[in-house]
Amino acid sequence: MAKAKTAFVCNDCGADYPKWQGQCGECHAWNTLSEIRLSAPAGKTAAGGRSARRAGFAGTTSAVQKLADVAVIDLPRLESGFAEFDRVLGGGLVPGSSILIGGHPGAGKSTLLLQTLCRLASRHAALYVTGEESPEQIAMRAKRLGLPSDQLQLLAETDVDVILASAEALKPTILVVDSIQVVHSETLTSAPGSVSQVRDCAAQLTRYAKQTGTVLILVGHVTKDGSLAGPKVLEHMIDCSILLEGDHDSRYRTLRGQKNRFGAVNELGIFAMTDVGLKEVSNPSAIFLDRSEHSAPGTTVVVVWEGTRPLLVEIQALVDDSSLGNPRRVTVGFEQNRLAMLLAVLHRHGGIHVGDQDVFANVVGGVRVMETSADLALLLAVVSSLRNRTLPRDWVVFGEVGLSGEIRPVASGQERLAEAAKHGFKVAIVPKSNAPKKPIPNLKVIPVARLSEALDACS
């Protein structure tokens, strides 16, 4: 059997070499060379699974044409059965798209996809490829969750050649591969999960999806810091990258879109893990605002914008005397460096010094706040804890704080105020540029232009 031509490429600088060596001659890094395939073997037959298909993949070319002559086709999306999942995807599954879903072990990736495919299998041909579990384990989970499993096709395989041959025979509308880190190609000598194996197998599967119009969903592992494992080029190959997050001690899971060619980025879907699988949460603001009846200092509510909708979350801050020479700055759900910057602004332009205090900040519910609209709410929570003064429960705050102490406007301010009024809030402290031109019923809006004005409004 003819073997494909290979090269060894440095994972750090991209330099290539004809044979393996311990150190890269360009960047001088050690043990960073990975084997990649340069061309496909010509000797494999169709019975072996792939020759004609691989040749078609490698040699397919398109004629040059003008952009105005390209026909624009509005492809109908496939509903997954979960409104929250469809929201993150931008409205549903797009035919011919490749989706990468990652998450920590036990987050619920396999459960979510199994629930989705069992629902879709009654209307569309679906193939679930598992490389980490046996068919018996998948069947036991489906039975425990009470899912209809009579229409779903199941394949336990890790060889990408066999997976593609089975997909060509069954012609599924939706193909799930769980997971891409265990899939391997026999033409590469590296181990499954290596950079070259993940890149090559993902490229073959993605190319198949584009040519056949199949919806491809790849499951990916994550590293300790929560980012997707494997080569960075993997995220460039696919059309949509989403991450399923959630702590083991929490019953809620957040599905966040990190890349989407067919919808909004940073869209957020909320699920609850139950004994019968994942259930979507239609009104997440009500969950994250499940507050105690007794108000306490250091608590504020902010309206953040996640994708295409507003979300009300509670922010907590605790300021305490520090016994260390270097006071601590600890954040959960915030960027720690931004907290340090905001505390400096509070000292310089608000006249409030917390340099000798430990400051802890937390977003209730396990949500990560990625935007800057929570700056003002975080600072007011810090001041509330420092002064031991409780802010009213029916107050809501949002706004970006600049380095010169100005309160900058944020996007979708009117929608945020409408969401706050819908949940019964009576007073809103917002940037002056976000103040509504017409009064909002049952909501008093306090516009502020400087940090000092916001502090005076809360005093």
- Interior CA angle at 131 toward 115 and 276, to 5°? 25
Give the 3-state secondary structure percentages of the chain, helix then strand then coil, rounded to 5. 30, 25, 45
Residue with tokens 């706050």: 420
Of 364 and 159, more confident: 159
Q: 286-290, 302-306, 359-363, 377-381: lowest mean pLDDT where? A: 286-290
Neighbouring residues of 230: CB distance < 8 A, sequence distance ≥ 6 = 180, 181, 193, 195, 198, 199, 220, 221
* Count of Cβ atoms closer than 10 Å to residue 282 Cβ: 9
Predicted confidence (pLDDT) per residue in 420-436, tens digit: 999 999 999 999 999 99
Q: 105-109, 223-227, 248-252: lowest mean pLDDT where? A: 223-227
pLDDT of residue 196: 79
Band (363; pLDDT cuts 50, 70, 90): very high
Q: Is the pLDDT confidence value at 8 over 60?
A: yes
Q: Is the pLDDT confidence value at 399 over 80?
A: yes
Cα–Cα distances in Å, from 315 out to 124, 288, 369? 44, 10, 10
Q: Is the pLDDT confidence value at 13 over 90?
A: no
pLDDT of residue 265: 85
Ranges of each domain in the chain: 1-41, 78-280, 287-458
Cα–Cα distances in Å, from 324 out to 344, 356, 400? 19, 9, 31
Domain 78-280, second-level architecture: 3-Layer(aba) Sandwich (3.40)
Closest CA to 299 of 363, 252, 353: 363
Rounded Cα distance between 162 and 165, Å, is 5
Q: What is the DSSP letter of 251?
A: S
Q: What is the DSSP letter of 393?
A: T
Give the mean pLDDT of the chain: 87
Cis before 80? omega within 30: no
pLDDT of residue 70: 85
pLDDT of residue 323: 87
Rounded Cα distance between 218 and 103, Å, is 12
Predicted confidence (pLDDT) per residue in 237-280, tens digit: 899 999 998 776 678 888 989 899 988 888 889 899 999 999 99
pTM exceeds 0.85 for this model: no
Q: Which residues of 134-150 are buried (b: 16+ CB within 10 A; e: fewer)?
A: eeeebeebbeebebebe
Domain 287-458, second-level architecture: 2-Layer Sandwich (3.30)
Predicted confidence (pLDDT) per residue in 335-346, tens digit: 999 999 999 999
Predicted confidence (pLDDT) per residue in 150-163, tens digit: 999 999 999 999 99
Cβ pair 269, 280 in contact under 8 A: yes
Q: Is the pLDDT confidence value at 39 over 60?
A: no
Strands 240-245 and 153-156, how do they pair? unpaired
